[in-house]
Structure 1
């Protein structure tokens, strides 16, 4: 049988092109949703350290779990046109301050958007540079109200899972170690809010929590939620997001990593994948 070499070559080229296109398309289809992280990174060295770490970590996790992670410090991007391209919004360290930004975010959440917040993104204290002047966000959406107090210095804590059946806490042990953090207490009792589902709280085995030097910076008892969701929205708040810094040695070097504990990382990824899902 005589084989026409030119036909064979053309078939080979065509098949190679098809396989290349199929591979590129398959790679693109792996990206299931897009995430945008908003940050300020100007106010506290510990928060700035966390922001830089978080941006790197979420980018790395995106490659592993098939989502696209972008970040911006331009809060004017918090508008309907920009947000339409993203399935999930993350506040890494602060909150929007202008009325148009706030209204755009509220509309985004009320129309099926998803949100994840860390540590200082829930902070509000009147009087301060971040007063409680946004009732929908602090009282309805987060449910926490104003900041109450904090532990010092940053320490690890044992967390207790409060809802084993929730997707965020799926496959986590009943208790696990959280990374070093400055832990917040809030004005409102989240246990009394029927819309709030507490996912993790400080376990009593953590007490005393904090080292001082001020006595009020050490917690000896009480109930402190640190991860929760509002069942009226697709959202999760994490109290984590404050790295330990070398203030005393005056090097201002980062001494800890928020993403150093595997169970805590699993909880964050669980939350991100749940928030990014279609349900």
Structure 2
């Protein structure tokens, strides 16, 4: 019994140490990333799948990751600790003023990389907050317009196969469940599009369409390496090899690795 108890205690100790390393980093840490995520609402299921996936990726690749659920702690000094910021299903409104200013500097001056998912393009006036014009410009000058509330499957077409974020992906891959936001205009004139959704493959079909409908892109006008990936609503995405390959590629590319 005593042997079993000691074994359990050691197991808990080493498990805790691994979590501590993932947060604090160590001498062999490749880089440190900050993950800003939503922990409530209808994106919670995606978060509950993505956060463990990220923690496992960090453990497997000697990365350090810290996780926060608000912008309260973000300022210039705080962001200086990180080579990458992952905005995981967190909207571009409601940021504290100091956090927003620090983020603008981080991106414009190339102090680190950025990956945004899904909710990061919920641009407009929401919940009493005004439009963040800088963030709209960062995302290609777009404004959120509509979405497929009943969800649809669709094919994503990889347009820029040579980009490191797209490495190892097939020319097309299927997304089984997504809301497919539409915007007031395509961001294409202002960004480099890496992938688009083929609206002709919506299942079931929907009248909510854009025509030219990019879903993965990067703004090369900014010094920071950055990529926006629209897909990020359903936990099913974390079972999609093409999606997780793209996610992993984006992390290492945006961090400059």
The verdict on a shared fold, with TM-score over 0.5 as the criterion, is: yes
Q: Does 1:78 align with 2:74?
A: yes
8 Å Cα contact 1:153/1:182 also seen in 2: yes
Q: Does 1:166 align with 2:157?
A: no
Query: Matched residue pairs, number?
Result: 229
Helix, strand or coil for the counterpart of 2:238? coil
8 Å Cα contact 2:139/2:187 also seen in 1: no
8 Å Cα contact 1:144/1:186 also seen in 2: no
- Give the 3 Å change call, closer, same or farther, for CA 206–29 of structure 1 in structure 2: farther
Q: Does 1:202 align with 2:183?
A: no
Q: Does 1:262 align with 2:241?
A: yes
The equivalent residue for 1:66 is: 62
Q: Does 1:231 align with 2:231?
A: no
Partner Cα separation in structure 2 for residue 120 and residue 177 of structure 1: 20
Deviations 1:50-107 (A, max 9, x none): 2222211111111223322220113122111111111111111223522211101001
- Give the 3 Å change call, closer, same or farther, for CA 204–133 of structure 1 in structure 2: closer
Partner Cα separation in structure 2 for residue 56 and residue 182 of structure 1: 23
8 Å Cα contact 1:117/1:236 also seen in 2: yes
Distance apart, 1:39 and its partner CA:
2.3
Partner Cα separation in structure 2 for residue 227 and residue 242 of structure 1: 15
Helix, strand or coil for the counterpart of 1:91? strand
8 Å Cα contact 1:124/1:130 also seen in 2: no
Distance apart, 1:264 and its partner CA:
1.0
The equivalent residue for 2:181 is: 184
Distance apart, 1:189 and its partner CA:
2.0
Partner Cα separation in structure 2 for residue 49 and residue 120 of structure 1: 14
Q: Does 1:240 align with 2:231?
A: yes
Partner Cα separation in structure 1 for residue 211 and residue 219 of structure 2: 22
The equivalent residue for 2:118 is: 119
Partner Cα separation in structure 1 for residue 247 and residue 214 of structure 2: 16
Partner Cα separation in structure 1 for residue 130 and residue 173 of structure 2: 32
8 Å Cα contact 2:186/2:213 also seen in 1: no
Distance apart, 1:228 and its partner CA:
0.6
Alignment TM-score, normalising by the size of structure 1: 0.75
The equivalent residue for 2:7 is: none
The equivalent residue for 1:276 is: 255
Work out which of the residue numbers 39, 45, 48 in structure 2 matches 1:41: 39
8 Å Cα contact 1:62/1:69 also seen in 2: yes
8 Å Cα contact 1:175/1:203 also seen in 2: no
- Give the 3 Å change call, closer, same or farther, for CA 64–115 of structure 1 in structure 2: same
